[in-house]
Amino acid sequence: MRVLAIGCHPDDAEFGCFGTLARCVARGDEVYVCGVTNGSGGSMTLEPDEIAAIRVKEAEKAAKVIGAKEYFNLGVYDLYVDSNNRDTIDKLVDVIRYTKPDMIFTQNPDDYMRDHIETSLLAFNASFIATIPNYKTKYPHTPVVPAIFYMEPVGVGDFRPTEFVDITDTIELKTEALKCHESQYGWLSAHTGNDAFSGNRALNQSRGKQCGTTYAECFSRCMQNQRMNTYRMLPEGR
């Protein structure tokens, strides 16, 4: 199976689905990771282009930790994600046409900030556009509209997951990947007042208790036309 994670900022996929992606790699899937923004807003001290260069390299390193085949970044500046921007659409369409995913992980459409919401819309639209032969980009169209699994949004209390994945065996690999984002330790604490890294692990532990395991990630599946199938796509229990 071919899997593509489309995160908004350079560390969003890491927080939301890297335990699951590591399990996908372990079962033999081809896994790809794409960031929409370059992370230009993620610093209290560095200029946008300076922190962006650092963050993209951190994301590339993190993707390698879990065994992803390739990392892409669309280069959109933070706070400027626009799901109707033709240039951004075309860039993501080409990533999808190049990777030919059977399933996509991406931001939840009900999230706490506009960049995340726009990324969710962008992934939804581009993954359909990628199948249209008369929409011309660098690569030819893909024949199948991929399934979409929305990652758990941060701090959205009414999120109702439809899928759980046991990541007990990959939680340490996920943690190692998150540690690649060294530039974000101080930034996230200063901006949010919380330790996002330990908080994410605690969330995975809480979700694990809900489904009878130690650590888990959860998702809500997009149930729109052409995106369903008769078999389970996510990794099974251990």
Share of residues in the chain with pLDDT > 70 (%)? 96
Lowest mean pLDDT among 75-89, 147-161, 179-193: 179-193
List the structure tokens of 192: 């949010």
Burial class (CB in 10 A: 0-12, 13-18, 19+), 32: buried
Query: Is residue 232 in a domain?
Result: no
What sign does the CA torsion over 200, 123, 114, 72 have?
A: positive
* pLDDT band at 238; cut points 50, 70, 90: low
The CATH number of residue 53's host domain is 3.40.50.10320
Residue 15 falls inside a structural domain: yes
User: In the structure, what pLDDT confidence band is assigned to residue 158 with cuts at 50, 70 and 90?
Assistant: confident
pLDDT tens string 185-209: 876 766 665 677 888 999 999 999 9
- Asked, for residue 143, whether it belongs to a domain, the answer is yes
Q: What is the mean pLDDT of residues 163-171?
A: 98
* Secondary structure (3-state) at 5: strand
- What mean pLDDT is reported for the chain? 94
What is the distance between the alpha carbons of residues 220 and 174, in angstroms, rounded to a whole number? 20
The answer as to whether 177 is a domain residue is yes
Which long-range contacts link 117-121 to residues 24+ away (Cβ below 8 Å)?
118/8, 118/81, 118/82, 118/83, 119/6, 119/7, 119/8, 119/36, 119/81, 119/83, 120/150, 121/83
Enter the DSSP assignment of 216.
E
Give the contacts of 210 (CB within 8 A, at least 6 positions apart).
Answer: 164, 216, 218
Per-residue model confidence (pLDDT) at position 237: 79
Q: Structure tokens of 129?
A: 């556009």
The answer on pLDDT for 155 being more than 80 is no
Give the tens place of pLDDT for each residue, 122-145.
999 999 999 999 999 999 999 999
Count the domains in the chain. 1
Please report where in the chains the tokens 């489309």 appear, as a residue. 6
Whether 177 shows a pLDDT value over 70: the answer reads yes
pLDDT in tens, 36-50: 999 999 999 999 999
Task: Check residue 3 and give its pLDDT.
Answer: 98
Q: How far is 20 from 119, CA to CA, in rounded Å? A: 20
Domain-located, residue 226: no
Question: Which residues, other chains included, contact 10 with Cβ-Cβ below 8 Å and sequence gap of 6+?
Answer: 35, 37, 38, 39, 42, 55, 56, 58, 59, 73, 181
The mean pLDDT of 19-31, rounded to a whole number, is 98
Pairing of β 30-37 and β 2-7 = parallel
- At 79-95, the pLDDT tens digits run 999 999 999 999 999 99
pTM of the model as a whole: 0.96
34: helix, strand or coil: strand
The whole domain housing 34 covers: 2-221
Burial class (CB in 10 A: 0-12, 13-18, 19+), 147: buried
The tens digit of pLDDT for each residue in 103-126 reads: 999 999 999 999 999 999 999 999
